Structure 1
């Protein structure tokens, strides 16, 4: 008779789910005929390490095994491996970026906002950081910092990094950026989504999806390049707009479109041949 193998959370570290035993883990995967997904050596070392930490109560995992990549297959997961030192450093820098709120009194933040304007409208002079001109880009008022504060009153993060994402998109994939900004192509709703504010929401959606502050990273591909997060942002924006058109959506349906966008990104990031963001099928939407 086959036993029903379950996973249980470690009490001191509830984000780490441990099977009842290494043998039980192996049986769980054999029963589902996907043993090729398990690297036995990696699992054995990991289990031994966790067992040792449980016994000694030392948990040096924060020093040498701070993050583990988890690969999901349906309802199942496998250990993908530890982050390399370079990936750890990239993750650290990315986490730091997400902690910076937009501050309109900071000179570098002011300059970044101006850079976004001139990357978007190179032939149009900006009359000030507070101006009706910003509404053209899809900010909700005369002062973009108001939109940052409004969003940050509901969520933590998605501040300055969302401005960096927009600026990266404008400079790196200018054709795609301008097409979305100007709502070119497709049958558009009378009440369209505001471009810039949508971009801020996309940044936060990606941060949630990647679980940047968790030690269980499901999508290590976003650490394969220094700018992978920003490239993923551009892909996400294109996917969102594509789904917007396919659903013939209007402003009030934006959150539903954002949810379906996240679902598609998650599916693509889990494909076996997607090792970098550039390998995602939807990357081809960019130009």
Structure 2
């Protein structure tokens, strides 16, 4: 089995440009749908609406499994505080010269390979984890420092699942597999786009639902990351995908996460059906 390189997201482009995708985006916009709606339809989803909250409204109603529910755009003090901290994490670029960022890299290595000593922060050893070169700091442009935090959280919180995905265990694997670590950075970036948390108030229903979860658990983003990684790998296996289909798998992963977050009985990340993929 060979692992091939895929480009880490350094700009706001998750999928390769094509006339088909451009046409899809235009069609979705003209129909009043978000990109996520179009992606959801292409992945066999039911197409949960992601309507946007208008600035002049304080609350908005939406249809959710035959029941109208109300999500307010006014945040509670706790939500504001936790959103502010999460946004600060998302805007924190990786800086290879910072001792704390260097320590985080060493911690990731120790959590991933507890029996193997890291020779240096710049080493060919990193390629074993799925970084594109011997200096992993060059792969953090798209996800920033939070993508390293996500990987470290995954390794420490769900070590069995982390090692299973790292070692590509289980299922029929493609001859050319996705590189684990770089895929993780792309997943962080995908979640940040999906939740759209840069705004001072949630602009999508998925973002509003997530903020409710964040008020229950400050580590909701990191938990969602772990779920997303497990879902992505399952999608990869179900589709018998190869590295050329990685971006398609990532889009379908996003669509599945959005569907699950909008379910009536999902109030925490742990309530998501795909949370059961973690161990």
| TM tier relative to shorter chain | 0.7 to 0.9
Residue 54 (structure 2) aligns with: 17
Alignment match of 1:259 (pick from 243, 251, 255):
251
Residue 186 (structure 1) aligns with: 171
Partner Cα distance (1:69, 1:88) in 2: 19
Distance 1:111 1:80, change over 3 A: same
- Check whether the contact 1:140–1:197 (CA below 8 A) recurs between aligned residues: yes
Residue 203 (structure 1) aligns with: 188
Residue 82 (structure 2) aligns with: 90
Partner Cα distance (1:169, 1:247) in 2: 24
- Aligned-pair distance for 1:88? 1.3
Residue 218 (structure 1) aligns with: 208
- Aligned-pair distance for 1:222? 3.7
| Residue 172 (structure 1) aligned with residue 163 (structure 2) | no
| Residue 275 (structure 1) aligned with residue 259 (structure 2) | no
Indicate the RMSD between aligned Cα atoms, in angstroms: 2.2
Alignment match of 2:223 (pick from 224, 227, 231):
231
- Aligned-pair distance for 1:147? 1.2
* Per-residue deviation, residues 142-193 of structure 1 (Å, max 9, x unmatched): 00011124x4xxxxxx200000000000000000000000000000001000
Distance 1:240 1:195, change over 3 A: same
Partner Cα distance (2:270, 2:152) in 1: 19
TM-score normalised by L of structure 2: 0.74
Residue 163 (structure 1) aligns with: 148
List gaps (5 residues or longer) in structure 2: 1-31, 33-51
Partner Cα distance (1:72, 1:238) in 2: 29
Distance 1:69 1:111, change over 3 A: farther
SS at match of 1:80: strand
- Aligned-pair distance for 1:140? 0.5
Number of residue pairs aligned between Structure 1 and Structure 2: 220
- Aligned-pair distance for 1:257? 0.1
Partner Cα distance (1:113, 1:178) in 2: 17
List gaps (5 residues or longer) in structure 1: 1-6, 8-14, 19-49, 52-64, 152-157
Distance 1:207 1:69, change over 3 A: farther
Give the alignment of 1:50-129 within 5 angstroms.
50=56, 73=64, 79-81=70-72, 82-129=74-121
Partner Cα distance (1:70, 1:233) in 2: 28
TM-score normalised by L of structure 1: 0.72
Distance 1:70 1:89, change over 3 A: farther
